[in-house]
Amino acid sequence: MRDPSATVSTAMSDPNRSIGIVRTPPRAELDPLDPAVAAAFLASIAALSDDGLLVQPLVLPRAFVDYQAETGAIMAKEAYGALRHLVEDPDLPLDPAVRSRVRQGAAIDDVAHAVRVAARHQALGALEEILGKDDVILLPTTPFPACRLADVDEAVFPMSRLTRLANYLDLCAISVPVATTAIGLPIGMQICARHGREDLVMAVAAKLQAAMQQRNLVIED
């Protein structure tokens, strides 16, 4: 088994290692997106481009909300199968939102689940068409800056809209702080690469974080 710490060590000691293309989704495909996050995203693209990395569009066969929905359905079905005895026990103290999401798996039949799993395996087999082995994806981690827990609508759960792509395509990923809002709330960008390419993710993350720390970007409202 490959030692993950070895790949991280290699990436950090060799910042000039071969990095392929930085793939970024078109701005419109990320909407709705907080203006501050959008500004940080564009600044991050510019920073990596200025550092000599080649930035090109990411072309996905599906929308981000589709990856979110399909991943959520697979997770709910499998979670309900494993945790049914917990979520169906009304006397067990569980977060209501978590209980609700897991219980959604009860309504998903085995045939529909099998179709989803097969479609995911097919997408994994075609990953080369989207992302080369030395390429990375750069996109916002969440569609808005850090917020108060009271402001989070658990029924909508929008925080995962831009991260479920990595779950669905079995990517490795990291989130890097790149800017803050005028009131000091952090904004993060995620860097994703193909399964097993933690070395590549760490190398690009180190470049992006160093470049954005120099810029010390504070985005005014």
Q: Which of 210, 212, 174, 168 is nearest to 193 (CA)?
A: 174
| pLDDT at res. 12 | 46
% of residues, the chain, pLDDT over 70: 91
Rounded-to-integer distance, Cα 97 and Cα 78, Å:
17
Rounded-to-integer distance, Cα 100 and Cα 155, Å:
9
Number of DSSP helices (H) and strands (E) in the chain, helices first: 7, 6
| pLDDT at res. 23 | 98
Phi, psi of 153 (to 5 degrees): -90, 100
Q: Please state which of the ranges 36-50, 68-82, 137-151, 188-202 shows the lowest mean pLDDT.
A: 137-151
Q: Which of 126, 115, 116 is nearest to 59 (CA)?
A: 126
* Helix (H) or strand (E) run with residue 140 in it: strand 136-140
Dihedral, CA of residue 49, residue 52, residue 56 and residue 58, to nearest 10: -80
Q: Is the pLDDT of residue 211 over 70?
A: yes
Taking the model in full, what pTM does it have?
Answer: 0.88
| pLDDT at res. 152 | 81
Task: Compute the average pLDDT of residues 54-60.
Answer: 96
Rounded-to-integer distance, Cα 106 and Cα 117, Å:
17
| pLDDT at res. 97 | 87
Of the pLDDT bands very low, low, confident and very high (cuts 50, 70, 90), residue 76 is: very high
Rounded-to-integer distance, Cα 74 and Cα 167, Å:
11
Whether the Cβ atoms of residue 50 and residue 211 lie closer than 8 Å to each other: yes
Task: Compute the average pLDDT of residues 106-112.
Answer: 97
Q: CA of 72: how far to CAs of 67, 95, 157, 166, 167, in Å? A: 8, 18, 11, 12, 10
Burial class (CB in 10 A: 0-12, 13-18, 19+), 5: exposed
Q: Which residue has the higher pLDDT, 28 or 169?
A: 169
CATH topology of domain 1-60+130-221: Amidase signature (AS) enzymes (3.90.1300)
Of the pLDDT bands very low, low, confident and very high (cuts 50, 70, 90), residue 1 is: very low
Domain ranges of the chain: 1-60+130-221, 62-127
Query: Could you read off the pLDDT of 155-181 as tens digits, one per residue?
Result: 776 789 999 999 999 999 999 999 999
